């Protein structure tokens, strides 16, 4: 397909590279910053612009892969007859409703400039305002991944919220663990085999079935000792208590 790519960030970069790999044609890259547009366009061997009025509108799909806050602003200034989609997990497709054909094309992964993600298993969540647009997005998704799903706005928002818990917050727990270890001159490397083993387990079973630790065993002696260890850190003390309560509520049922 012929694609206009709006954006030059991590997602735009990895998605662009994958689309080219799969023989789609990127007609043009747009970025507010000419230098960024040029940088990605060179990688994708295509044209670039930083002028909204120069955006190539004669395409099969225009993919808007920019920061959430700018999607509405930018889309208000564009004119497309063909299909326009954004790649945001949390913005409603309704911000594009002035267009005849619009939707979302949401690759559920955290992207970086350097690392090529595993596209084969990468979930592509798609939605559109009509059947023919949905078909077109499905064809595009199936050409770059084996993990295609139709997900409406409400579901996509919930996925984004769930990802914040499962991904952003768990990463902060790893940071907390690293800091706790630093206090006693212990390398965070010691915890990595445990973390990796545990995450491998949820590939085949529900997290609920593999919950371990003092909270789920109702081991009050250990819980109180841990709270004592955290007595000089109000926030971590509060976080520990809240998790203990949540885990105990879950496993009482």
Residues 46-75 that bind a copy of itself (CB under 8 A): 68-69
Tokens found for residue 48: 């670039």
Q: CB count, 10 Å around CB of 1?
A: 17
Q: Which residue in the set 206, 231, 232, 253 belongs to the binding site for a copy of itself (CB under 8 A)? A: 206
Closest to 86 measured CA to CA, from 68, 73, 60, 98: 68
Q: Which residue in the set 23, 45, 131, 221 belongs to the binding site for a copy of itself (CB under 8 A)? A: 221
Shortest spacing between CB 111 and a copy of itself, in angstroms: 9
Q: Is 186 in the site for a copy of itself (CB under 8 A)?
A: yes
Q: Which residue in the set 53, 203, 252, 253 belongs to the binding site for a copy of itself (CB under 8 A)? A: 203
Taking the C-alpha atoms of residue 125 and residue 104, their distance in angstroms, rounded to an integer, is: 8
Shortest spacing between CB 76 and a copy of itself, in angstroms: 17
User: 42 vs 166, which CB is nearer to a copy of itself?
Assistant: 166
Shortest spacing between CB 126 and a copy of itself, in angstroms: 12
Strands (E) in the chain, as ranges, are 2-6, 25-30, 47-49, 61-64, 83-86, 101-107, 124-128, 148-150
Q: Which residue in the set 29, 59, 122, 140 belongs to the binding site for a copy of itself (CB under 8 A)? A: 122
Buried b (16+ CB within 10 A) or exposed e, 69-104: eebeebbeebebebbbbbbbbebbbebbeebebbbb
Partners of residue 177 on adjacent β-strands? none
Closest to 240 measured CA to CA, from 209, 219, 208, 215: 215
Q: Is 94 in the site for a copy of itself (CB under 8 A)?
A: no
User: 76 vs 167, which CB is nearer to a copy of itself?
Assistant: 167
Q: How many CA atoms, within 13 angstroms, populate the side-chain half-sphere of residue 24? A: 26
Shortest spacing between CB 182 and a copy of itself, in angstroms: 10
Q: Is 150 in the site for a copy of itself (CB under 8 A)?
A: no
Q: Is 168 in the site for a copy of itself (CB under 8 A)?
A: yes
Q: Is 118 in the site for a copy of itself (CB under 8 A)?
A: yes
Tokens found for residue 30: 């747009």
Shortest spacing between CB 61 and a copy of itself, in angstroms: 22
Closest to 12 measured CA to CA, from 83, 112, 108: 112
Name the one range near a copy of itself by CB under 8 A: 76-84, 93-101, 130-138, 222-230: 222-230
Shortest spacing between CB 206 and a copy of itself, in angstroms: 6
φ/ψ (deg, to 5) at 211: -65, 125
User: 21 vs 219, which CB is nearer to a copy of itself?
Assistant: 219
Q: Which residue in the set 129, 138, 147, 237 belongs to the binding site for a copy of itself (CB under 8 A)? A: 147
């Amino acid at each position: 397909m012929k694609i206009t790519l709006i954006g030059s960030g991590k997602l735009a970069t990895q998605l662009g590279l994958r689309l080219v790999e799969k023989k789609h044609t990127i007609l043009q890259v747009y970025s507010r910053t000419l230098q960024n547009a040029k940088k990605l366009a060179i990688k994708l061997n295509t044209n670039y612009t930083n002028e909204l009025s120069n955006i190539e509108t004669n395409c099969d799909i225009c993919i808007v892969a920019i920061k959430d806050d700018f999607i509405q602003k930018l889309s208000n200034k564009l004119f497309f007859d063909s299909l326009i989609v954004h790649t945001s997990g949390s913005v409603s497709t309704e911000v594009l409703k002035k267009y005849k054909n619009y939707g979302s094309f949401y690759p559920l992964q955290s992207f970086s400039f350097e690392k090529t993600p595993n596209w084969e298993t990468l979930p592509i969540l798609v939605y559109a305002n009509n059947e023919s647009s949905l078909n077109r997005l499905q064809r595009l998704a199936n050409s770059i991944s084996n993990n295609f799903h139709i997900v409406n706005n409400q579901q996509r928002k919930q996925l984004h919220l769930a990802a914040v818990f499962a991904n952003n917050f768990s990463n902060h727990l790893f940071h907390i663990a690293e800091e706790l270890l630093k206090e006693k001159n212990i390398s965070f490397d010691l915890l990595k085999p445990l973390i990796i083993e545990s995450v491998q387990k949820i590939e085949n079973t529900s997290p609920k079935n593999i919950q371990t630790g003092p909270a789920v065993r109702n081991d009050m002696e250990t819980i109180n000792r841990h709270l004592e260890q955290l007595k000089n850190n109000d926030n971590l003390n509060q976080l520990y208590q809240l998790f203990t309560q949540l885990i105990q509520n879950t496993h009482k049922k």
